[in-house]
Amino acid sequence: MKIALVGIGKIAQDQHVPAIAASPDWELAATVSRAGSVEGVPAYTSLADMLAAHPDIGTVSLCLPPVPRFFYARELIAAGRHLMLEKPPGATLSECHALEAMAAEAGVSLFATWHSREAAGVAPARDWLSGREIRRVTVTWKEDVRRWHPGQEWVFEPGGLGVFDPGINALSILTEILAQPVHLSGAELLFPQNRQTPIAADLRFAHPGGAEVSAAFDWRQTGPQTWEIAVETASGALRLTEGGGKLSVNGEDIAPEGEGEYPRLYARMAELVRAGASNVDLAPLRHVADAFLLGRRETVAPFDF
């Protein structure tokens, strides 16, 4: 099947392009970007021009920042194209619900992707936790924004999510591995004096079984980067590290198998298109929205790249 990529930035070059190239399901047939391109692939700066030139491209993957994404997505759905959304699927929950309704009415597949759920350790972690009594969950997601988003000012603008840009990856794993859903009960959000989105956040969740569930996100971590979820149960402990890529149970490393996060996403998108189905799970984004609603705001030192 032919697919187009819209937004040829770092994540597209690092993950989407190689995943499509290695896929038995997809052929990258066009790109749309103001600056980026992929060698050997027709490139456009206008979405309308690409759609007019390629009526044979039935699916489009959007790799744009969340704020402008809705308008592109709406145009693509109106053009009858199946649509794959990079995380988060929109700047607001209302946008996502609107796109879901549009896609259903147009009869096209819509996939709100959460790449961290496809990390090798996530599915076996979910399976091991199933049926176990959970007592404590501790999420620690700390990284260096200068390393992962160098000079990308948009992450600190309204809609850019701030530290929730990586933190939502942790929330996507959390909502995948816990059999009983949690909801946010409190939060502290740390905003640099010169920024519109938080650079750190501490979250607390209510669990139906009374387990203690918390998360600490920070974008100021230098040196080793930390992406870890630790779960204590009545019958042992589980630890996911490296963003879900590594799993240990009761101190013993488990060797999960997998082909990589983005190849799995594109395989899943192929399944959805062939089945005429959609997958729009907004649980991680709901937690972020709740954090902005409930979070106590604290001002910290200015931050500059």
User: In 10 A of CB 245, how many CB atoms?
Assistant: 17
Of 93, 113, 24, 147, nearest to 293 (Cα)?
Answer: 93
- Round to whole Å and give the CA distance between 119 and 125: 11
* DSSP string covering 193-205: TT-SS-SEEEEEE
- 2 as an active site residue: the answer is no
User: In 10 A of CB 17, how many CB atoms?
Assistant: 21
Extract the tokens encoding 80: 């009858």
Amino acid at 180: Q
Catalytic residue among 2, 10, 87, 246: 87
- Round to whole Å and give the CA distance between 57 and 174: 35
According to DSSP, the residues that pair with 296 across neighbouring strands are: 188
Amino acid at 116: S
- Round to whole Å and give the CA distance between 3 and 142: 34
CA dihedral 6, 12, 17, 18 (to 10 degrees): -160
What CA–CA distances, in Å, run from 29 to 56, 138, 175? 9, 43, 34
So which residues are the catalytic ones? Answer: 87
